[in-house]
Structure 1
């Protein structure tokens, strides 16, 4: 066991033991104190990984019941009955199907043929492609798919230092693009659905698919090329000859005609997207319900785009258990009044600001807290209720606060601690400190764009 893992394990145990000696009051009850202590302990275990992430998440369920943060095991498992958990599960199957048939590779070749004139444009092509695919499937799955593509491209370099230098910009740009692209639609990230779901649970207000897209698409259109520009300025890739680039594009073998399987998956995904859009007016087309039904059509007799084993092999079970457990902890945070305590301590004076200032402060708070709580689902669970209360105190729609939270928390790439950037960090092309040199500026730009556009977009939609 590594030193950091030993420290993490001892620190988590210390917090679980020490929280019993922290005084309680009218706002922070004993159950609330224990819930907060469990959350901090679980976060430390998730970050340092002395035990597998999935095991940590299962342990978190037991701790909720053991320390009486909830009434019992059924309440501790409440997060696993949330529709988002099953959306996350089936999204891995949909991602696997898109990868199995050459849809993603076909899109990449098409974009690279238009933009791939030099290495910088190839990076832009990959970032655009990753963002588009990430708009309807998991950010984790999208990043995993394109890591293979990037590694294949980097093999063109014969000089190891040039390969390493170029790989740095590509491996930082990929998770950034996946996370930015995830803002395009609610289906682009489980974090989007989590924000929407919690808002509806607590207020009865529903953010529709189209409303989210109206807010998200302009931000992505601005932020994706801006992020690319920042990355290539901070870490400029080493150029290759046009002939080397042409040969690489030729290695991406894509059949000239779409096969039956490819047409089937393309049609299925298109129908799902149309139904998701229609869900803005027809609530029966629930996003998770459509995803589940679409997922089952991948296993139809005589078609069988996927086998059951292929699906199981492509599921990130760590992500599945992480979302379920964090939602359970989030439910306990709200039920035990911890959210009110957080509101009183973290956001005390923001209600006196105008709308644009309020969005700016909330975005700053979210990105700042991501440094200490780099597990985005946990941060959503902690902040949704306080932000709804904040909106009430400021006499504005809670949609503005929750959209700010949802859009900002999805861009957790200041440090490679979130699952998405962690995938590329593990390739060894950059150090932890090197990521923030570019992504810190990207997050600042994100704050400014969200601050300017989001209140305007919601005013156009008649929500604000």
Structure 2
């Protein structure tokens, strides 16, 4: 066992023992105190990794019952029956189908031919392609698809130092673009669906698919090129001969015509997207329901796009357990009144600022909270109720504060701790302390753009 893993275990044990010495108050109940302690333990274990992520997540279910944060196992497993979990499972199958047929390569080659005149524009092509794909499928899956493509592309560099320097820009730009693209639609990230669910639970207000797109897409359009420019200027990828880039693009094999399976996947995907949009007016067309039906149509006998074994291998099971367990813990936090306690001790009761200022401060608060709580799904249930309370006290719609939470929390890339940046960090092209040189600036810009556009969008939609 590594030293960091042993330290993580010892800290976790200390938290479980020490939380019993934290005094109970009218706001911080026995159950709430223990739930908060269990959340801290889970975060420590996830960061130090003495066990695999999935094992830690399963352990959290047992801890909720052992320390009486919830009354029984069925209550502790609430997250595992949440529709969001099944959306995540189905989305992995759909994303695998898109990458199995030439669709993703076709899009990538088109963008490279259009933008790939030099290395900086080549980086933009990768980022744009990743953002577009992650706007409708899991950003984890989108990032995973492009990692081997980028590694293969970097072989163009004969000099190892040039390859590492350029690879740093690409491997940081890829997860940043995927997470930015995930803001565009509710289907872009499970965090978006969690945000919508928390808003409905706390305020009975529903954000439709089209309404979210109206808020999210302009932000993505503004932020993505800004993020690209920042990454290029901070990491300075080494320029390479345009002919070498052209030769690489020509090596990407894409059939001139779509075959039956590619047409089928494209038709299925377009139909699913249309139904998602129609769900804004017809509630029966629930995002998860439509996704599950589309998923099953990938396995039609005698014309299946995926085999069951391929699907099982495509699923990021750590992501599945993480989302489900965090939803369970988050539900316990809300039920046990931890959100109300957090409002009283950590949040301002009101903000005497214009709407732009309120939105910007909330965005910055979310990014600052991601430093001690770097697991993005955990912040949505933790901060949901406090932000609703802040909105009520400030005299603005809670849709403004909760949507700001949802849009900002999805960009958990200050350090490579979240699942998406971890994928590229593991390639070894950059160190932990190198990522914030660009991503801290990008997060501030996201808070500014969200603060500028979101109030305008919500006012047009009638929420403000």
In 2, distance between residues paired with 1:201 and 1:292? Answer: 23
Which residue number in structure 2 is paired with residue 229 of structure 1? 229
Distance 1:102 1:7 in 2: 46
Alignment partner, residue 116 of structure 1 = 116
Question: How far apart in 1 are the matches of 2:350 and 2:42?
Answer: 29
* Cα distance in 1, alignment partners of residues 80 and 217 from structure 2: 30
Alignment correspondent of 1:433: 433
3-state SS, counterpart of residue 26 of structure 1? coil
Could you tell me how far apart the structure 2 residues matched to 1:222 and 1:261 are?
Answer: 35
Contact 1:79 1:326 in 2 (8 A): yes
Counterpart in the other structure of 1:107: 107
- Please tell me whether the aligned partners of residues 350 and 393 of structure 2 are also in contact (alpha carbons under 8 angstroms): no
* Matching residue of 1:333: 333
Which residue matches 2:199?
199
- Write out aligned runs for 1:121-200 (5 A): 121-200=121-200
Deviation digits for residues 3-62 of structure 1 (CA, Å, limit 9, x no counterpart): 111111110111011101110100000000000000000011011110010000000000
Deviation at residue 330 of structure 1 after TM alignment? 0.5
- Matched with 2:209 is 209
Which has the higher mean CA deviation after the structures are superposed, 284-293 or 350-359? 350-359
TM-aligned CA deviation for residue 354 of structure 1 = 2.6
State the partner residue of 1:314.
Answer: 314
**Which residue is equivalent to 1:405?**
405
Equivalents in 2 of 1:361, 1:349: separation in Å? Answer: 13
Q: Distance in 2 between matches of 1:201 and 1:87?
A: 19
Unaligned runs of 5+ in 2: none
The answer as to whether partners of 2:210 and 2:277 remain within 8 angstroms in 1 is: yes
The answer to whether the Cα contact below 8 Å between 2:349 and 2:393 also exists between their aligned partners in 1 is no
Q: Does 1:275 align with 2:267?
A: no
Per-residue CA deviations over 1:220-249 (Å, capped at 9, x if unaligned) read 000000000000000111111121011100
* C-alpha distance in 2 between matches for 1:350 and 1:407: 21
Give the CA deviation at 1:355: 1.7
**How far has the Cα of 1:353 moved from its partner?**
2.8
TM-score by length of 1: 0.99
Query: How does the TM-score come out when normalised to structure 2?
Result: 0.99
- In 2: Cα distance, 1:242 partner to 1:357 partner: 45
Offset from partner CA, 1:158-191 (integer Å, 9 cap, x none)? 0000000000000000000000000010000000
Partner of 2:9: 9
How far is the alpha carbon of 1:95 from its aligned partner? 0.8
Q: Tell me which residue corresponds to 1:254.
A: 254
Which residue matches 2:442? 442
Q: Is the 8 A contact 1:350 1:361 kept in 2?
A: no
> Is the Cα contact below 8 Å between 1:36 and 1:333 reproduced in 2?
yes
User: SS at 1:155's partner residue?
Assistant: helix
Distance (Å, rounded) in 1 between the aligned partners of 2:159 and 2:455: 49
| Alignment match, 1:387 | 387
Question: Runs (4+) of structure 1 moved beyond 2 Å?
Answer: 349-354
Range with greater deviation from structure 2 (342-351 or 139-148): 342-351
Distance in 2 separating the partners of 1:39 and 1:353 = 33
User: Distance in 2 between the 1:9 and 1:352 partners?
Assistant: 44
Alignment of 1:238-249 (within 5 A): 238-249=238-249
Provide the residue aligned with 1:298 in structure 2. Answer: 298
Distance (Å, rounded) in 2 between the aligned partners of 1:128 and 1:410 = 17
How many equivalent residue pairs? 464
8 Å CA contact 1:139–1:188 kept in 2: the answer is: yes
Give the CA deviation at 1:351.
3.4
Distance 1:146 1:309 in 2: 22
Give 1:349 deviation, angstroms. 4.2
User: Counterparts of 2:46 and 2:353 in 1: how far apart (Å)?
Assistant: 36
Q: Does the 8 Å contact 2:136/2:185 carry over to 1?
A: yes
Per-residue displacement from partner, 1:392-434 (whole Å, max 9, x unpaired)?
A: 2222211111110000000011100001001000000000010
Unpaired runs of 5+ residues, structure 1, are none
In 2, distance between residues paired with 1:245 and 1:154? 10
Write the distance in 2 (CA, Å) between the matches of 1:344 and 1:81: 31
CA–CA distance in structure 1, aligned partners of residues 82 and 391 of structure 2: 25
Q: What is the aligned-residue RMSD (CA, Å)? A: 0.8
For 2:454, the equivalent position in structure 1 comes to: 454
